[in-house]
A and B are shown apart, each in its own frame.
Chain A
Amino acid sequence: MRVKSKKPDLAQGDLTPMIDMTFQLIAFFMVLINFAQTEANDRVVLPSSKLVKPPEVALEFPIILHVAQDGEIVLGGDEFTVETLRIGLQREMSVIKAEGKTANDANVVIRAHQDTAMGDVQEVIRVAQEQNLINFALRVKEDNR
């Protein structure tokens, strides 16, 4: 006697290739993700230059100043104007001095927006100079075109 199985047919797709691909995608994005982009600021679009190359050795004691298009300055997550920047720089200087270094050892990294007025950048430099800072780095994007 022929007995028919009452179980419904389950059309099970093979999930293996999909899972393989998904894991490969995850691995790809995990490797490329850059958590160390703390230096970047959304309000700043850097100008570009063909001559610069990423530094092989990181700058010592960097003080990173983001200068937005409207001239506002971001230092360590706090916003300053040219008039109040002195306070922020003094705070940074006290950290550098606590490590037994002087203003000559510090590097002021200026990340200014490409459309910022140059005068605003010069004012930032002037305020930093008043704190005896002498080493400046004008940060730009590498232009490979």
Chain B
Amino acid sequence: MGTFVQLVVDGLSAGSVYAAIALAIVLVHSATGLINFAQGGMAVLSVYIAWWLTTRGVPLIVALLVSIVFSIVFGALVERFLMRRFERGDPDTAVVVTIGLLTLITGVAGWLWTYNNQQFPSLFSLDTVSFLGVSVSQRSLGTTAVIVVVMVALQALFIGTKLGLALRAVANNPESAAFSGLPVGRLLMVGWGLAAALGAVAGALVAPQLTLTPGMLDNALVYALAAVILGGLTSPVGVVVAAWLIGVLENLAAVYVPFIGYDLKVAVPFILIFVVLLVRPQGLFGRKTVVRV
């Protein structure tokens, strides 16, 4: 029973990281209609910034804040100077652009900081706490808590503020938004910046566990994409639930299904996708999109 609870909590913590990246992908998709395959890569870059600052003696929390600010600026710049040109065009070309960006960022990180694993300091201690008779690690609890707080804050921003309203308007219909005087271009930059910041938080939380390498979040990106497919691109809540489901199921499968084990647990979300796709092609929570000719 103790193992089971520990596995579930660890799964929720891993799932929270996937959820954050998946939410970033959904955020970008709803604003610009494309899937950013470089979302993980951009997060890795800002984690490297934080890591580099900590090796220069900057306190961890300051380094993290600086890296988050960096990623907001970086995300906005990427939108303005790279993606803007491809946004309303062929979505397949735009996808290849994000793949080019992923290659480029991986290349830059590998060139500046080598491909060797680097130790990234953890925000939370590795000690376990006893909770209702079972012990769970503080890091898992902390990771989950931070990401839940960030997600709630983001939801509040979208629902409760004028900026959020404007962002939703641009996502919903850029032409009408522009007609009503909203600065569409700048709002898209804000959207990309927020998405990048979300990714950066997730990256910083998971980095101590995975150790920092340029390809650190490649697997997490795959999980996030799986969560996006399962949850449906139109449903942020669905994506978060799907990401937690994936995190918990893969952890359980790794231990309780002998053939899967730790090395093949990355296949779990895709087995899940196969099953779901055969039953509900629009995702667990997504709406069926109707195309107007």
Tell me if chain B binds chain A. no
